[in-house]
Amino acid sequence: MRILFLGTAQFACPSLQMLLDSSHGVTAVITQPDRPRGRGQKVSASPVKTLAMAHRLVVFQPERIRDPAAIQFCREKKPDVIVVVAYGQILPPDLLTIPPFGCVNVHASLLPKFRGAAPIARAILNGEEKTGVTTMRMDEGMDTGPVFLMEEVPIRLNDTSGTLQDQLSRIGARLLQKTLGGLEDGSLIPRPQDHAQATYAPKISKEEGKIDWQRSAFQLSCQLRAFDPWPGAYTYWKGRVLKLFSPTVVDEETKEPAGTVIQMSDEGMIVTTGKGCLQIAELQLEGRRRMNVREFRKGHSLHPGIHLGD
């Protein structure tokens, strides 16, 4: 089939690579315009654009996919199906009706749960025990279309948004391949979602990363893992932002106030919380690189008795 691919984030790259390795033909790739990225805020291409350019594909970067010029570009490509993976904009009705096989989306949750921009982080943040990937036929709503295929995976206690994204992106590519095959031979019929069961996953903000030590150790573990690698869950130490990574809930009895460092070793820093204690294995002081506690201790006097926070 002739495929027009819309994607931006790294999550979309395995799906695009699968299409390039398949018997389908990618007629063009639409991705978001180049944006400032990273610590230096240098303007750079999206991961999808980088992959597409490496394969000499036609790349189009409209500011808004609903602009007439963007709709016309899609029509001119005459796609049999439009594939959308982590693109970042809702498709307008005029675009949805262009391909005869419709528009297929790969979404990183078990729909109708966690519709929206940040399903992976929100599932971890919410303390969910499982998540997965869904392929669906797109309609005018936000992740509301009928479902083709779904695959479930457990969320492990050491999973972060980064590790889970890598796993789910590979599953998404495999489900997309099966979905396109089923559309092509007519064997796949989508089923409606139960909209009454819908939950939402709005975009993550940096402000949500601030740690409230009065919360439980489990809740804080979810927060640290959900915001790893971005934007990072943070507290304050000596007036500076200190990001915390690689948490483990530990069974430790203490009467120290929440946010107090009660133990420091090469294995980690143990901090009291509103319920239980949390061991932190990696730290990142503002302006510095991320490092394990053993490395951190060599250059910083972070010791038991210190209180973290405002």
Quote the CATH superfamily of domain 206-299: Formyl transferase, C-terminal domain (3.10.25.10)
Query: Is 0.75 topped by the overall pTM?
Result: yes
The whole-number pLDDT of residue 148 equals 98
Angle made by CA atoms 31, 34, 40, in degrees to the nearest 5: 140
Below-50 pLDDT ranges, the chain: none
> Phi and psi for 190 in degrees, rounded to 5?
-70, 150
pLDDT at 42: 87
**Per-residue H/E/C for the chain:** CEEEEEECCHHHHHHHHHHHHCCCEEEEEECCCCEEECCCCEEECCHHHHHHHHCCCCEECCCCCCCHHHHHHHHHHCCCEEEEECCCCCCCHHHHCCCCCCEEEEECCCCCCCECCCHHHHHHHCCCCEEEEEEEECCCCCCCCCEEEEEEEECCCCCCHHHHHHHHHHHHHHHHHHHHHHHHHCCCCCECCCHHHCCECCCCCHHHHECCCCCEHHHHHHHHHHCCCCCCEEEEECCEEEEEEEEEEECCCCCCCCCEEEEEECCEEEEECCECEEEEEEEEECCCCCEEHHHHHHHCCCCCCCECCC
pLDDT digits (tens, 9 = 90+) for 149-167: 999 999 999 999 999 999 9
Give me the CATH topology for the region 2-197. Rossmann fold (3.40.50)
Domain ranges in the chain are: 2-197, 206-299
